[in-house]
Structure 1
């Protein structure tokens, strides 16, 4: 397949944990490449695809996303603790190293940004880890919500601190402080 033949399929997922607001999911032939937060719009997805796959066609096809939707549904219902379907992570080598480290954090466990920096053998890159964490294109499945401040504060979160709190609570983790930067209080 040449680059101009690339089709990215997308669909939506809603759940009470996200107040029935849609999450947009997209996949390549390799695997899931993007999940938006309920605070993000379809435009967010379109812009991300245009940036990372400039020649791709974005086509709605809910049926191609059903296996991912089923795993997300099971997770949000407390019936799943790990995801098994393939993903297609697109980012810099530093970002992908952070995202791989996130995938190693077990269900119900949290790590700090400095823990992740240590894990990727770059202990001084704490802020860069935070930036990469915030750029994670496949949240929930690549569990960026499991990264909290060293002080146990929820800190910033692109999906909003309420979503982070709900996901951690769903996983049975309650050892956090419900504070963070005001711009993430939605």
Structure 2
């Protein structure tokens, strides 16, 4: 979006995909293109909640959705780089956007297994280290169901993150 163009409304953009597909990198590139954008990493929110990690997922999701609504209401976009492999969880993001009077856009980033493996191998995030192939298969199966939801935009994430961000950025404008 050019500096001189005015926007109508705000958008909650869910950047979805398997680990290593580049969600966080594309989210950061989008934020660099658009001042005021909140990159809302639910895993970071989860890490802020004390206790057994098995008990922090739902409170983190609720808090992240509250944060998203608040930021959208302030007049700024929200980009959520998050693996969401269940349709009922996608609906929660849609409802949060609607509750803030914002648009909802859902991008499914897809990359080759080789690209994902290379990115995960160079990744220092502890929650992506040593991913079990059976877990990845379950995520992949869930994403196939999510990919069939109305309005999902599939984007080839094998390109450079900046190029993917420029491809995705128009979705923030509705």
Answer whether TM exceeds 0.5 for this pair.
no
Task: Report which of the two has the higher share of helix.
Answer: 2
- Of structures 1 and 2, the one with the larger relative CO (CA 8 A, separation 6+) is 2
